[in-house]
Amino acid sequence: MTRSWQIWRDRRGRLSYLRFSVLALLLLPLLKAIFEAGGIAHGARPLNELIHRAGFWALVFLGTTLAVTPFRRIFRYGKLLDVRRMLGVGTFCYIAAHLLLFYADQSYSPSKALHEITHRVYLIIGAIAWLGLAALAVTSTDGMVRRLGPMRWRRLHQVSYFIALLALIHYFQQTKADVTVPIFAASLFCWLIAYRLIAAWRQASNLSTSYLFLLAIVVSLITFIGEAIGIGLAFHVSPLRVLETIFNFDVGIRPGWRILVAGLTVAAVDAVLARWKSGDVPARAVAAE
């Protein structure tokens, strides 16, 4: 009985409320879809709606998995590492459902599905990302960590940043109208990648509060400029004209502002916790990343 509960226990053998909470978080989009099943079924394209939901949540959970390393340091909460694998496997479940629903939408015809995938660039990119996530899921077991060795395993799992980039391209390419959410998602990934790159460059396990403030500002600027160039290219207008409108809040809050607020909030939390908590991230756990 105790053994069957092993997966829900932390390293000290106690029932892990963190793991239960993450399971609840992972199940939330599924429960929401079940709750809204009536509305979805009566929509114009129920299967397409479910494909979108599964893809969106896979991307959200992929980002959450990548956020574990910086957030456990910023929040001084080493236990977060305990749920990284669970988040990764959850991501794969949603992405498996995404492909399965796509297959159902292609009338369960392998040749039709394969033809569709190989004839659309955004689907080719999605398929490469899918295969990458499958490889990460297969190699996520303790046995595979031992077989590959920690160094090679870590290097392999760093591919997840490249996979996230492909998933974002796939997301952008299939978006037909409003790109606000994809741009915000891209800015969050940009923050995550920049955090890891700066930490690696400084050979530090975490970034100081001033670096986090700087990171928030730089990523926000990149987001404003990237959005302006994107809109400029798409609508044949000068990116400078687009930049002039960033203070026009009548048309909505631009992703650049959103990432600025999110980044500054994280930096402020870091500043507070740096005073209150000395850090409960054990050296052994840092070595395991």
Candidates 126, 253, 258; CA nearest to 188 is: 258
Three-class secondary structure of residue 9 per DSSP: strand
Give the 3-state secondary structure of residue 12.
coil
98 binds ligand HEM (CB under 6 A): yes
Structure tokens at 98: 């995404």
* C-alpha to C-alpha distances, 225 to 106, 129, 245, nearest whole angstrom: 39, 26, 12
- Minimum separation from the CB atom of position 262 to ligand HEM (A): 19
Please select the residue that binds ligand HEM; options are 26, 67, 68, 130, rule is CB under 6 A.
130
191 binds ligand HEM (CB under 6 A): no
Least CB distance to ligand HEM at residue 182 (A): 8
Hey, what amino acid is at 256?
Answer: G
DSSP-based helix, strand, coil % in the chain, nearest 5: 80, 0, 20
Q: Is 171 in the site for ligand HEM (CB under 6 A)?
A: yes
Closest CB to ligand HEM among 171 and 213?
171
# residues contacting ligand HEM (CB under 6 A): 23
CB 246: neighbour CB atoms within 10 A?
Answer: 14
Q: Return the number of the residue (160 or 206) whose C-beta is nearest ligand HEM.
A: 160
Q: Decide: is 48 part of the binding site for ligand HEM (CB under 6 A).
A: yes
- Name the residue with tokens 């629903």: 101
Q: Specify the residue, 173 or 205, whose C-beta has the smaller distance to ligand HEM.
A: 173
In the chain, which ranges are continuous DSSP H helix?
Answer: 17-35, 37-41, 46-74, 84-105, 110-119, 121-138, 142-148, 150-157, 160-174, 180-201, 209-235, 239-243, 255-276, 283-287
The verdict on 63 binding ligand HEM (CB under 6 A) reads no
The nearer residue to ligand HEM, 167 or 190, going by C-beta atoms, is 167
- Residue 172 found at the interface with ligand HEM (CB under 6 A): no
Q: Which one-letter DSSP state was computed for residue 194?
A: H
Q: Which of 26, 50, 62, 97 binds ligand HEM (CB under 6 A)?
A: 62
Interface contacts to ligand HEM, rule CB under 6 A: 48, 51-52, 55-56, 58-59, 62, 95, 98-99, 102, 117, 123, 126-127, 129-130, 133, 167, 170-171, 174
